[in-house]
Amino acid sequence: MEYQEALSVIHNATRLGSQLGLERIRRLCGLLGHPQDSLRFVHVAGTNGKGSTVAMTANILQRAGYKTGMFISPFVLDFRERMQINGEMIPQQELADTLEKALPFIEQMKREGSEPTEFEIVTALALRWFADRGCDIVVFEVGLGGRFDSTNVIDAPDCAAILSISLDHTHILGHTTAEIAFEKCGILKKGSRAAVYPLLDEEALAVVKRTCAEKGIAPNIPDLSQLTVLQSGFDGSDIRYKGEGYHLSMRGGYQVYNALTVLSVCEELRAGGWKIPQEAVKWGLANTHFGGRLEVVRRSPLCLIDGAHNPDAVAQLCKTMDGFFTGKRVVTVMGMVSDKDYEHCIGEVASRSDVFIAAQPDSPRALDARRTAEAASRFCADVRVQPDPKRASREAVAAAGADGVVIACGSLYMIGDCKRAFQEAADDIR
CA distances (Å), origin 183, targets 198, 208, 310, 386? 18, 10, 18, 38
CB-based burial label for 380 (10 Å; 0-12, 13-18, 19+) = buried
What values do phi and psi take at 425, rounded to 5? Answer: -65, 140
- Residue 123 domain-assigned? yes
Instruction: Please determine, for residue 231, whether its predicted confidence score (pLDDT) is greater than 60.
Output: yes
Give the pLDDT score at 173: 66
Give the pLDDT score at 429: 40
pLDDT band at 18 (very low <50, low <70, confident <90, very high): very low
Same domain, 194 and 336: no
Give the pLDDT score at 428: 44
- Residue 286 domain-assigned? no
Average pLDDT, the chain: 92
Average pLDDT of the segment spanning 227-241: 93
Where does a domain end: 177, 202, 219?
A: 219
Same domain, 175 and 41: yes
Give the pLDDT score at 426: 44
Instruction: Please determine, for residue 430, whether its predicted confidence score (pLDDT) is greater than 50.
Output: no
The model's pLDDT over 103-117, given as tens digits with 9 standing for 90+, comes to 999 999 999 999 999
User: b/e for 169-208, b at 16 or more Cβ within 10 A?
Assistant: beebbbeebbebbbbbbbbbbeebbbbbbbbbeeebbebb
Give the pLDDT score at 364: 80
Average pLDDT of the segment spanning 332-353: 91
The model's pLDDT over 149-208, given as tens digits with 9 standing for 90+, comes to 999 999 999 999 999 998 655 566 666 899 999 999 999 999 999 999 999 999 999 999
Same domain, 214 and 337: no
What percent of the chain has a predicted confidence (pLDDT) above 90?
Answer: 77
- Residue 282 domain-assigned? no
Average pLDDT of the segment spanning 244-251: 96
Same domain, 305 and 215: no
- Residue 199 domain-assigned? yes
Instruction: Please determine, for residue 309, whether its predicted confidence score (pLDDT) is greater than 80.
Output: no
Instruction: Please determine, for residue 13, whether its predicted confidence score (pLDDT) is greater than 90.
Output: no
Minimum mean pLDDT range among 262-276, 281-295, 328-342, 416-430: 416-430
Same domain, 56 and 141: yes
CATH number, position 52 = 3.40.1190.10
Closest to 42 (Cα-Cα) out of 285, 289, 270: 270
Give how many domains the chain has, as a whole number. Answer: 2
Average pLDDT of the segment spanning 13-21: 63
Cβ-based neighbour number of residue 214 at 10 Å: 11
- The structure's pTM equals 0.90
Where does a domain end: 219, 245, 275?
A: 219
CA distances (Å), origin 318, targets 31, 381, 397, 429? 47, 18, 20, 28
Alpha helices in 288-364 (DSSP H): 311-324, 342-350
- Residue 335 domain-assigned? yes
The range of the structural domain enclosing residue 107 comes to 3-219
